[in-house]
């Protein structure tokens, strides 16, 4: 209406709109793209390095567990031999044909074989736990997911 427009009489208003088009930005866009591509390549390289480190750790733990399992079997054989030697030395001493020194040496060898067997079993269990950790089959509270882990070596006493 005319009465509404009367308040604007004698006043001037201006609206200024501007558009900025970069004609030359100093190759900023290209440098940003190149930097992003290099950052992606570096991230991929770090990922590959980490993957290789994890694989190496798993293989190392696996072979440490196998070696420890062999030690368990070897120590069990040693324990059986030392037990038999001690029994023979005890029998000889009881019958009066063996010396107390022979019996004490056999008992010392038996005690040493028992200690080695315990140590071998401890190392096997420790290496098994390390392998379970490295492959990610330990539960949140440290419990192993039993179906995924090997059983103890056959001479685990």
- DSSP assignment of 33-87 equals HHHHHHHHHHHHHHHHHHHHHHHHHHHHHHHHHHHHHHHHHHHHHHHHHHHHHHH
Tokens 């315990």 sit on residue: 118
Q: How far apart are CA 16 and CA 33, in angstroms?
A: 34
136: helix, coil or strand? coil
- What are the phi and psi torsion angles at 15 (to 5°)? -120, 130
Tokens of 35: 């930097």
Give strand ranges (E) for the chain: none
Q: How far apart are CA 102 and CA 110, in angstroms?
A: 12
- What are the phi and psi torsion angles at 27 (to 5°)? 60, 25
Residue-level pLDDT, tens digit, the chain, 157 residues: 556 666 666 666 677 777 777 666 667 888 889 999 999 999 999 999 999 999 999 999 999 999 999 999 999 999 999 999 999 999 999 999 999 999 999 999 999 999 999 999 999 999 988 998 888 887 656 665 555 556 667 654 4
Contact (Cβ atoms closer than 8 angstroms) between residue 117 and residue 157: yes
* This model's pTM is above 0.75: no
Break the chain into its structural domains and give their ranges: 44-157
Tokens of 48: 């590959």
């Amino acid at each position: 209406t005319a009465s509404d427009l009367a308040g604007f009489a004698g006043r001037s208003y201006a609206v200024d709109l501007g558009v900025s088009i970069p004609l030359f930005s100093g190759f900023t866009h290209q440098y940003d793209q190149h930097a992003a591509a290099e950052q992606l390549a570096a991230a991929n390289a770090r990922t590959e390095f980490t993957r290789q480190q994890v694989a190496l750790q798993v293989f190392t733990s696996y072979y440490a567990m196998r070696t420890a399992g062999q030690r368990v079997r070897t120590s069990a054989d040693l324990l059986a031999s030392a037990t038999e030697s001690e029994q023979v030395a005890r029998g000889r001493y009881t019958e009066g044909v063996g010396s107390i020194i022979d019996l004490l040496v056999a008992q010392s060898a038996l005690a040493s074989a028992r200690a080695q067997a315990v140590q071998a079993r401890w190392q096997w269990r420790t290496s098994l736990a390390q392998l379970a950790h490295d492959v990610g089959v330990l539960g949140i509270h440290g419990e192993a997911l039993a179906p995924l882990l090997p059983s103890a070596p056959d001479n685990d006493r």
